[in-house]
């Protein structure tokens, strides 16, 4: 099969090892897709013979061992999927030769070491970098911000430490906001078409699982439109860089389950296309920015389990979120939390020891307001009851006579009713007999 250009054996429940002889049929191969099978053992080093290979997908198997350095010889490779295996070791330095790479998907393996800074150099086409759920440690290299085409960066569920690089605000492909005005409509369609074509190689359409909005979603046809930064489940510290809010084209941002401190930047309202924001389980303090409610595309929000305080800006888009989005912040109050309001700043500073005592104070305030309203309405009603007859009598003699005649009839009928009832009750009483 010397003219074979496309091999797809995915989802076929094939077991055993990938034979080394696969390298003998690589003269014209552009795509190899062996994903979603039960292959075991190592990745064949003979794949290096596939000199014009553009797409290699070995994901969702049971492959083990290190990633062979020989894969760095596939200089035409644009799509590389090795995720969901049992691969270990460090990223091979030979990957620096893969300058045409658009997708590097190595998530859900056992890879370790630091994230090499050379990833940020020489990958002008890299749009997807997925290193999720591995054992990478150390700091996130600021060189990643040089990836001018990067749209999806998933470093979640590793052992990364240090602070979030401020240079992430320079990711050019995410700073570009998609315009919706009619004048740019043609350009948008053209841009989408070009990106869609670039994500396909010889009948193989790129795909990626993106963890967002509390769930895992598979993207295929619309993958080229996804923008995502996921740094969740690490040991990152420091604050959220204000520079990140320059990423006006970012759709999904997940920084949950870290040790991030400081406050939520007020400039977060600049991220106009943000659809999912998860900052939960950190150590964020201060108030929630009022302008957060202006993010009209925001459909998922999780700020739970931080040290946020003050009122929730319950207007605009934030009215669509439930209490669970704000839970675990003892000094946070207002709708949709059960804690509606606090009387003064002393309560926030420690006037109530826990949520229960705070709730009692709130209920007491509500009862006071209800009592004041009740007595006010009672007084107004009593005054009206006295003044209305007075005005009737004083305005017209005939009205006065009719008014008092009406009440005479009412009183007489009431007395007659009571007299008849008394007589009826007397007849129903039986005499008591002495024993």
The string of pLDDT tens digits covering residues 225-250 is: 899 999 999 999 999 999 999 999 99
What are the tens digits of pLDDT across the range 264-299?
Answer: 999 999 999 999 999 999 999 999 999 998 999 999
For residues 349 and 22, the model is more confident at: 22
Kindly state whether residues 307 and 404 are assigned to the same domain. Answer: no
Burial class (CB in 10 A: 0-12, 13-18, 19+), 427: exposed
Range in 164-173, 262-271, 388-397 the model is least confident about: 388-397
How far apart CA 349 and CA 1 sit, in angstroms, is: 77
- pLDDT computed for residue 364 by the predictor: 41
Calculate ∠ Cα 225-228-230, nearest 5°: 160
pLDDT surpasses 70 at 31:
yes
- pLDDT computed for residue 91 by the predictor: 95
Kindly state whether residues 245 and 328 are assigned to the same domain. Answer: yes
Residues 6 or more apart in contact with residue 129 via CB below 8 angstroms: 104, 119, 144, 147, 150, 152, 153, 154
Asked if the structure places residue 222 within a domain, the reply is yes
Residues 6 or more apart in contact with residue 389 via CB below 8 angstroms: 403
How far apart CA 172 and CA 152 sit, in angstroms, is: 12
- What tokens were used for 202? 């010889």
For the chain, how far is it from start to end, CA to CA, in angstroms? 121
Kindly state whether residues 295 and 406 are assigned to the same domain. Answer: no
How far apart CA 327 and CA 336 sit, in angstroms, is: 10
For residue 417, the enclosing domain spans 381-427
Quickly list DSSP for 76-104. Answer: T--EEE--SSEEEEPPPGGGGG-TT-SEE
Range 19-40 average pLDDT: 90
Kindly state whether residues 163 and 289 are assigned to the same domain. Answer: yes
Q: Directed axis angle between helix 397-428 and helix 355-395, to 10°? A: 120
Of the CA atoms within 13 Å of residue 409, those in its CB half-sphere come to 5
Kindly state whether residues 217 and 324 are assigned to the same domain. Answer: yes
pLDDT surpasses 60 at 35:
yes
Asked if the structure places residue 342 within a domain, the reply is yes
Range in 171-185, 325-339, 367-381, 412-426 the model is least confident about: 367-381
Sign of the dihedral defined by the CA atoms of residues 404, 405, 408, 414, in that order: negative
Listed residues 361, 391, 414: the one ending a domain:
361
Kindly state whether residues 328 and 419 are assigned to the same domain. Answer: no
Confidence of residue 3 (pLDDT cuts 50, 70, 90): confident
Confidence of residue 32 (pLDDT cuts 50, 70, 90): very high
**Residue 76's CB: how many other CB atoms inside 10 A?**
15
Asked if the structure places residue 110 within a domain, the reply is yes
How far apart CA 357 and CA 364 sit, in angstroms, is: 11
- Give the mean pLDDT of the chain: 81
Kindly state whether residues 406 and 312 are assigned to the same domain. Answer: no
- pLDDT computed for residue 422 by the predictor: 60
Q: What is the number of structural domains in the chain?
A: 2
- pLDDT computed for residue 237 by the predictor: 97
Kindly state whether residues 349 and 205 are assigned to the same domain. Answer: yes
CATH number at residue 59: 3.80.10.10
**% of the chain surpassing 70 pLDDT:** 71
Kindly state whether residues 311 and 414 are assigned to the same domain. Answer: no
pTM of this prediction? 0.75
- pLDDT computed for residue 216 by the predictor: 83
* CB of 214 closer than 8 Å to CB of 205: no
Asked if the structure places residue 178 within a domain, the reply is yes
Kindly state whether residues 126 and 225 are assigned to the same domain. Answer: yes
Quickly list DSSP for 372-401. Answer: HHHHHHHHHHHHHHHHHHHHHHHH-HHHHH
How far apart CA 237 and CA 76 sit, in angstroms, is: 39
Asked if the structure places residue 432 within a domain, the reply is no
Kindly state whether residues 413 and 348 are assigned to the same domain. Answer: no
Kindly state whether residues 152 and 57 are assigned to the same domain. Answer: yes
């Amino acid at each position: 099969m010397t003219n074979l250009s496309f091999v797809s054996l995915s989802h076929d429940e094939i077991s055993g090892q990938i034979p080394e002889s696969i390298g003998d049929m690589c003269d014209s191969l552009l795509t190899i897709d062996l994903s979603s099978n039960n292959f075991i053992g190592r990745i064949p080093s003979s794949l290096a013979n596939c000199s014009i290979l553009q797409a290699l997908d070995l994901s969702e198997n049971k492959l083990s061992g290190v990633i062979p350095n020989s894969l760095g010889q596939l200089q035409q490779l644009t799509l590389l999927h090795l995720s969901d295996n049992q691969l270990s070791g460090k990223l091979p330095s030979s990957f620096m030769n893969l300058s045409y790479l658009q997708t590097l998907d190595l998530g859900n393996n056992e890879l370790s070491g630091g994230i090499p800074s050379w990833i940020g150099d020489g990958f002008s086409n890299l749009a997807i970098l997925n290193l999720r759920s591995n054992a990478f440690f150390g700091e996130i290299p600021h060189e990643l911000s040089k990836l001018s085409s990067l749209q999806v960066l998933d470093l979640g569920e590793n052992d990364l430490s240090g602070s979030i690089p401020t240079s992430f605000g320079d990711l050019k492909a995410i700073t570009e906001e998609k315009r919706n005005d009619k004048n740019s409509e043609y350009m948008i369609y053209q841009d989408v078409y070009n990106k869609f074509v670039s994500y396909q190689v010889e009948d193989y359409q790129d795909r990626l699982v993106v963890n967002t909005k509390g769930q895992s979603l598979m993207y295929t046809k619309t993958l080229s439109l996804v923008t995502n930064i996921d740094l969740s489940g690490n040991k990152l510290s420091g604050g959220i860089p204000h520079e990140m809010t320059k990423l006006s084209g970012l759709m999904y941002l997940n920084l949950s389950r870290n040790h991030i401190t400081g406050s939520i930047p007020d400039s977060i309202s600049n991220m106009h296309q943000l659809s999912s924001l998860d900052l939960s389980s950190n150590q964020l303090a201060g108030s929630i920015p009022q302008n957060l409610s202006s993010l009209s595309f925001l459909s998922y929000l999780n700020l739970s389990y931080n040290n946020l305080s003050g009122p929730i800006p319950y207007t605009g888009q934030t009215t669509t979120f439930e209490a669970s989005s704000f839970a675990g912040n003892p000094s946070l109050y207002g709708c949709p939390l059960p804690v509606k309001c606090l009387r003064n700043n002393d309560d926030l500073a420690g006037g109530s020891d826990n949520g229960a005592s705070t709730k009692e104070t709130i209920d007491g305030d509500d009862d006071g307001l209800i009592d004041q309203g009740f007595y006010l309405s009672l007084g107004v009603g009593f005054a009206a009851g006295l003044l209305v007859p007075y005005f009737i009598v004083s305005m017209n003699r005939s009205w006065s006579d009719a008014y008092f005649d009406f009440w005479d009839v009412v009183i007489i009928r009431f007395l007659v009713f009571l007299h008849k009832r008394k007589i009826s009750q007397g007849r129903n009483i039986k005499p008591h007999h002495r024993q």
